[in-house]
Amino acid sequence: MDNSCKLNKINDIQLLKDRIYQNIKSSIIELHLYPGEHLTEQRLADGLGVSKSPIREALQRLEQNGLVHYCSPTMLVH
């Protein structure tokens, strides 16, 4: 009996956190999110239909890249 798994290889995979990062980054660059606008994890999660964990990771990356900055308890668009 052959117990090997026969699955098709996934060639183009992008992690959810990376897709969310790109989505928010594009929204900032295209001014769909305005400079000075408050961004909360919950608002973004609700808007994108995802949990807050990948939102949090994307916001940390956006902050490292200077597109947002932390202003307790929200992030602000630069």
Q: pTM for the complete prediction?
A: 0.79
pLDDT score of 71 = 87
The residue to which tokens 């090997």 are assigned: 4
User: Taking the CB of residue 20, how many other CB atoms lie within 10 A of it?
Assistant: 22
Measured between alpha carbons, how far is 71 from 50 in angstroms, rounded to an integer? Answer: 23
pLDDT score of 3 = 61
* Measured CA distances, 40 to 6, 11, 12, 69 (Å): 42, 33, 30, 12
> Which residues of the chain fall short of a pLDDT of 70?
1-5, 8-13
Beta-carbon contacts of residue 69 (< 8 Å; ≥ 6 apart): 63, 75, 76, 78
What is the set of domains in the chain, with CATH numbers? 16-77 (1.10.10.10)
pLDDT score of 36 = 93
